[in-house]
Structure 1
């Protein structure tokens, strides 16, 4: 009797896309003595409020990119070894003016840019940023800061290769935050602005103001607004398609 040949299961093959060189530039004067032409990696930014799904999507993108053979580095707000601890303490005390707090965040960003983002890009890494200067600017603009001053403050920033803003309605955000933490964050609710004595009401008003600022900033900086009200799998597939196109230079 003839033996039936065993069927080999085909393993899914990850598609490896070799990134094409980017036209690098800073938004303004940038960081001194940095040759942008030597930054071979890619900088991908995911923006959005707490509860928008940023962390979930970044974790999935990291797994996908590393499965495709790309080394990755993650950065985000308040992750600087220089000032992150002091920034947390200052926020808990709620004792700083809007300008001082803004400069604290700018210092946190500048330290990560110089010591994490730029070296990683120079080494050819894919850098995924859990928020970038756009969140910082939107927060400050909502609090009445001067836009020209903010643009000058963040003129050190490198222009990312791709920016995705996960747009989620304030009503959906409040449900997600309650489901996850059973509470709302003081700062993400804009309680320092005196919008309302009730945190729930303040959260809805503040997130509405933030969404308006992001739409205005999008018209200036041209980033991608992604519908974040969909299922995580749908959002992730959308992000992967856009990133693949970016890597391929399309």
Structure 2
């Protein structure tokens, strides 16, 4: 089919009109959806979301206490409780015996190696420093860490051997400070009555009495004391109450991370 020049001109004009009309309709729709008021609202919402992401984090919760005070059992129960509340949580233990340093510590604790008191203290400290970066990354990503023993144990046990407390603290300065320290309070005598006592190097009654005194020397008003001689379920419930408040506060961005024993 052959079109005349006049016919081709009409088709061309009709096509241009159609394209212009669609373009006009698109611009009207676009600017209607992106009015200044709507754009401002969207920007404010995005800023709010970003702000929440930056401020919200996981909590660093530490359980301390004498050997056989129930820390390990309560840490496991606590993580299960938090996960049941749809809170991302992980259980950590120090010493971490899976690292190279941790294996040296494990050999010492099970009496298969001998080390100077200063040396073993620094190994315990190094074991915590090995995990510092990962700890910070986990907390900032929103994961709450429930930690079975931390720097306080290192200082309490080493000073119980006669080492200077300030020297013991020095190698720990700069590690992340806990948001909550829960001390499971039990007398050395009652702890010694529990099953499995005496299996490791430090599980000796007279030494545990000295550790208890060392804990008294380093604790502060921020610590929460829980009677560990209560029934397990009562200890568990009390820990849940104090920990959930701490976790909520960290999730709301009200507690920035801080460093241990920093001036």
TM-score of the two chains, using structure 1 as the length reference: 0.72
Q: Return the offset for 1:204.
A: 2.2
Asked if the contact 1:39–1:121 (Cα under 8 Å) also holds between the matched residues in 2, the reply is no
Cα distance in 1, alignment partners of residues 95 and 201 from structure 2 = 14
The unaligned stretches of length 5 or more in structure 2 are 1-50, 255-263
Q: Is residue 228–residue 235 contact of structure 2 (8 Å, CA) maintained in 1?
A: yes
1:217 aligns with 2:234: no
Aligned to 1:66: 83
The count of aligned residue pairs is: 196
SS of the aligned residue for 2:131 comes to helix
Deviations 1:101-128, CA, capped at 9 Å, x for gaps: 111111111112223x112112110101
Question: Distance between the aligned counterparts of 1:204 and 1:96, measured in 2?
Answer: 21
**Contact preservation (8 Å) 1:39, 1:118:** no
Q: CA deviation at 1:187?
A: 1.9
Q: Match of 1:16?
A: none
In structure 1, how many angstroms separate the alpha carbons of the residues matched to 2:200 and 2:75?
A: 24
Kept in 2: contact 1:75–1:112 (CA 8 A): no
Whether the 8 Å contact between 2:59 and 2:139 is mirrored in structure 1 is yes
Match runs of 1:1-250 below 5 Å: 40-79=57-96, 80-91=98-109, 92-115=111-134, 117-176=135-194, 179=195, 181=196, 184-189=198-203, 203-219=204-220, 222-249=222-249
Shift of 1:246: 2.0
* CA RMSD across the alignment: 2.1
Deviations 1:28-75 (A, max 9, x none): xxxxxxxxx778211000112221111111111111100111111221
Distance 1:111 1:212 in 2: 28
Distance between the aligned counterparts of 2:101 and 2:228, measured in 1? 31
Residues of 2 paired with 1:93 and 1:51: CA distance? 22
In 1, the alpha carbon distance for the partners of 2:71 and 2:210 equals 19
Equivalent position SS for 2:129:
helix
Measured in 1, the distance between the counterparts of 2:229 and 2:148 equals 18
After superposition, the Cα gap between the structure-2 partners of 1:155 and 1:39, relative to the gap in structure 1 and judged at 3 Å, is: farther
| Deviations, residues 177-203 of structure 1 (Å, cap 9, x unaligned) | xx3x2x5134223xxxxxxxxxxxxx2
* Residues 156-184 of structure 1: CA deviation (Å, up to 9, x unaligned): 221111110101111211111xx3x2x51
Q: Is the helix fraction higher in 1 or 2? A: 2
Q: Distance in 1 between matches of 2:140 and 2:248?
A: 19
Between Structure 1 and Structure 2, whose CA radius of gyration is higher? 2
Which SS does the other structure have where 1:93 is aligned? Answer: coil
